Amino acid sequence: MAAKVLWSRVQYVQMPDDEGQEKESMGDKKEGRVRAIDVARLAGVSRSAVSRTFTPGAYVSDATRAKVLRAAQALTYYPNAMARSLTTQRSGIVGVISADLQNPFYALTLERIGGALQGQGLAPLVLFGDETSTKAQISQILSYRVDALIVTNAVLSSRLTDTVSRMKLPVVAVNRYFPQDWITSITCDNIHAAGSVADHLHGVGSTRIALVTGKADTSSSRDREAGFLRALVERGTAPIAIETGDYSHDSGVLAGRSLLERSVAPDAVFCANDLMAMGVVDVARSEFGLRVPEDLRVAGFDNSAVGSWQSYSLTTVDQNIPQMIDLAVEIVLRQLRGEGGPTGQHLQVKGTLIVRHSTSSPI
């Protein structure tokens, strides 16, 4: 069931106490930086008024705020977030685990997660690597005392999830789901979306349909395969062949070559992501002299920017990344504020089939 409602945003507020302010002042003094007390003296207000001015959601009069901001600008003052965290016990940092930025979908997802967190006054700490390096990534990211974790396309072993669970950190997975009942997962409704691709290919007259799946250990690939096959069965047909890729362009080339070398070649191919679909298009044109879509229809999944270029004009599925990320950030904020939320649930947003030239012309 598609997630449709976002929760109202309420700022988390916890005022630093005098001890925390003193720690900030001492630390800044050692570094030769402007301190909150310096701003307070120039503005003619209390030090706590300076603190309230720079604390999201805290009350301060318009007149006092204006004085503090003018003094801060004159002195080039910036609040010491590290000192404040000593009092609030919150770093304001959200760890983001990501990999495979050669895939445009993950690069765009990461960019939007970072922007959404910063828009809420949180600092994203991003660590990269391949899926086999997740243990080192999480060990490093936890050493920064992050307040929460957002996982995009990383694999979490049972040992790692146990470690994170003991730390009671909010964890949200985007575009992947996990069985642990304390991890909230947000994905596109992959089963329904892939089924819509099957319906489309069948509806435009394709009779020899092939499938290229993604990595077998990913929930997105499994669900897309299941949805696509189910829709074909409901229409009284089945794929003539299934190849396995790894979501890369190269694996699409290999899968496409294998499919098109068959004695009975497909007239349509659905790939579990756009990169593989572009690989199929490239090998069909360069090695087999086929025209897309006149000789072969090709569809992908992700609605990547490159897939929309005229040279591909790829039929695909838009996963509604903005809604997934809005949900992820809102869940993190709610859990940090102690307001609960859908911990452990698998939330799904509705994908949208986008038909372009790669499947639109009759064969």
Mean pLDDT, residues 216-232 taken together:
93
- Both 261 and 293 in a single domain? yes
- Both 105 and 174 in a single domain? yes
Burial class (CB in 10 A: 0-12, 13-18, 19+), 47: buried
Residue 359 has pLDDT above 50, yes or no: yes
Cβ contact 172:158 at 8 Å: no
Q: What is the CATH number of the domain that holds 43?
A: 1.10.260.40
pLDDT of residue 112: 92
Residue 132 has pLDDT above 60, yes or no: no
Last residue of a domain, one of 88, 123, 146: 88
Q: What is the CATH number of the domain that holds 250?
A: 3.40.50.2300
Bridge-based pairing of strands 123-127 and 93-97 is parallel
pLDDT of residue 362: 62
Containing domain of residue 172, as a range? Answer: 93-188+321-350
- Both 55 and 155 in a single domain? no
Mean pLDDT, residues 319-332 taken together:
92
Residue 286 has pLDDT above 60, yes or no: yes
Q: Which tens digits make up the pLDDT trace of 328-345?
A: 999 988 888 777 666 678
Last residue of a domain, one of 44, 60, 88: 88
- Both 307 and 213 in a single domain? yes
pLDDT of residue 245: 96
